Amino acid sequence: MTTATPTVGAGAQATGKPTSAAGRVRSRLNSRTATLVSIVIALLWTIPTFGLFVSSFRPEAEIKSTGWWTVFTDPQFTLENYQDVLFGASSSSGQLASYFINSLAITIPSVLFPLAFASLAAYALAWINFRGRDWLYIAIFAMQIVPLQMALVPLLKFFSTGVTVAGIQLLPAWNLVDEQKFAQVWFAHTCFALPFAVFLLHNFISQLPRDLMEAARVDGATHPKIFRTIVLPLITPALAAFGIFQFLWVWNDLLVALIFAGGGNETAPLTVRLAEMAGTRGNEWQRLTAGAFVSIVVPLVVFLSLQRFFVRGLLAGSVKG
């Protein structure tokens, strides 16, 4: 390679200016083709979502008999699907409003708890000196690779029967009913999120300037004070990044909710209800399309408005790791 490149370079130089001008035209053309192709692909990528979106506004009879692309020649729109799927009276209609509230009730605490606990832990692991600190960090870091499937069966048993060692009941069963089951889901989501949360926040917190910390220590600030007044304000972008990440994860989660929330409209989130509808009412497209869009719209808004934070968090989490 090293021997070949100089000759190529010399050749290009020898032919002088015309080539470079032609080259400039060619590269502009290239970039124009690249622009065109990349836009076409981006549009193709969006077509499935767009089809769903358009369909959700079409009358039931239309959805079931013609393709959504016919709206361009025969536009017919209605809001009835949304009315039906959100507030409909019959049990088959979806009643998604109720599940929407469940999704909110599950997601908000499931984001806050790991956020708070992990930032405390990450601070301790980064800036408090104690024996075994590095090993502890490595242990928590390593837990990221444990698939959550590994914890599901015993954790469910823990909620339903408590902890018994050698016949002695150490912890009682939780015995939760109806909406109280939210607590189980919060607990499970918090546990499963912690390893990644600690890792991500540790990445940020450990990179704060050492001088700053030492100056605060010299001034007599205690660790809790440093944490509250110096660290927290500085890591808001990281908190936002993890917050968005966790929000999308919990809102979109199916497995954890399916196991710990149960299936009824007292606790189950949108994803559980939609998966159920897709299974039992797979041909009720007027409800499925509107329902899917109801579940998509919140994460989409969060995502689009906070994309900058999300991407930054993603890059910090995956590339630095």
Partner 1 sequence: MEFDFAEEQPKFLMLMYGLIAFVAVVGGLLLLLDVVPAWFARRREAQLIAASTGGGPLPRRRKPREGLFALFFLLPTLLLLSVGLVVPALRTVLLSFMDAGSDNWVGLRNYGWMFSEDSIVRVLLNTLIWVLLVPLVATTFGLLYAVMVDKARFESVAKSLIFLPMAISFVGASIIWKFVYAYRSEEQDQIGLLNQIVVSLGGEPRQWLLDSPLNTFLLIVIMVWIQAGFAMVVLSAAIKAIPADIVEAARLDGVSPWQMFWQITMPSIRPALIVVVVTLSIATLKVFDIVRTATNGNYDTSVIANEMYNQAFRYGENGQGSALAVFLFILVIPIVIYQIRNLRQQREG
Contact set for partner 1, span 94-123 (CB under 8 A): 95, 97-98, 101-102, 104-105, 108-109, 112-113, 116-118, 120-121, 123
**Closest approach of Cβ 79 to partner 1, in Å?**
15
Instruction: Indicate the residue among 18 and 154 with the shorter CB distance to partner 1.
Output: 154
Q: Which is nearer to partner 1, 154 or 167 (CB)?
A: 154
Is 179 one of the binding residues for partner 1 (CB under 8 A)? Answer: yes
**CA–CA separation, 207 vs 91, rounded Å?**
54
* H, E, C per residue of the chain: CCCHHHHHHHHHHHCCHHHHHHHHHHHHHHHHHHHHHHHHHHHHHHHHHHHHHHHCCCCHHHHHHCCHHHHHCCCCCCCHHHHHHHHCCCHHHCCHHHHHHHHHHHHHHHHHHHHHHHHHHHHHHHHCCCCCHHHHHHHHHHHHHCCCHHHHHHHHHHHHHCEEECCEEEECCCCCCHHHHHHHHHHHHHHHHHHHHHHHHHHHHCCCCHHHHHHHHHCCCCHHHHHHHHHHHHCHHHHHHHHHHHHHHHHHCCHHHHHHCCCCCCCCCHHHHHHHHHHHCCCCHHHHHHHHHHHHHHHHHHHHHCHHHHHHHHHHHHCCC
Q: Does 3 bind partner 1 (CB under 8 A)?
A: no
The angle subtended at Cα 251 by Cα 111 and Cα 255, nearest 5°, is 105
Least CB distance to partner 1 at residue 258 (A): 8
Q: Given the complex with partner 1, which of 98 and 207 has the nearer CB atom?
A: 98
Question: In the range 45-84, which residues lie near partner 1 by CB under 8 A?
Answer: 45-49, 51-52, 55, 63-69
Residue of 124, 216, 241, 261 that binds partner 1 (CB under 8 A) = 124
Cβ proximity to partner 1, 52 vs 213, nearer residue: 52
Which one of residues 57, 85, 86, 196 is an interface residue with partner 1 (CB under 8 A)?
Answer: 86
154 and 171 Cβ atoms separated by less than 8 Å: no
> Smallest distance from the beta carbon of 303 to partner 1, in angstroms?
4
Q: Which position among 3, 8, 209, 218 is part of the footprint of partner 1 (CB under 8 A)?
A: 8
**Between 131 and 209, whose beta carbon lies closer to partner 1?**
131
The verdict on 214 binding partner 1 (CB under 8 A) reads no
Gyration radius (Cα) of the chain, Å: 27
Q: Check binding of 204 to partner 1 (CB under 8 A).
A: no
Nearer to partner 1, 162 or 207 (CB): 162
Closest CA to 309 of 236, 240, 231, 208: 240
Smallest gap from residue 209 Cβ to partner 1 (A): 20
Q: How many residues bind partner 1 (CB under 8 A)?
A: 130
Residues 236-295 close enough to bind partner 1 by CB under 8 A: 248, 251-255, 258-259, 266, 271, 274-275, 278-279, 282, 285, 288-289, 291-292, 295
18 sits near partner 1 (criterion: CB under 8 A): no
**Which CB atom, from 63 or from 235, has the smaller least distance to partner 1?**
63
CB 212 to partner 1: min, Å:
18
Give the footprint of partner 1 on residues 126-165 (CB under 8 A).
128-131, 133, 136, 140, 143, 145-156, 158
CB 42 within 8 Å of CB 22: no
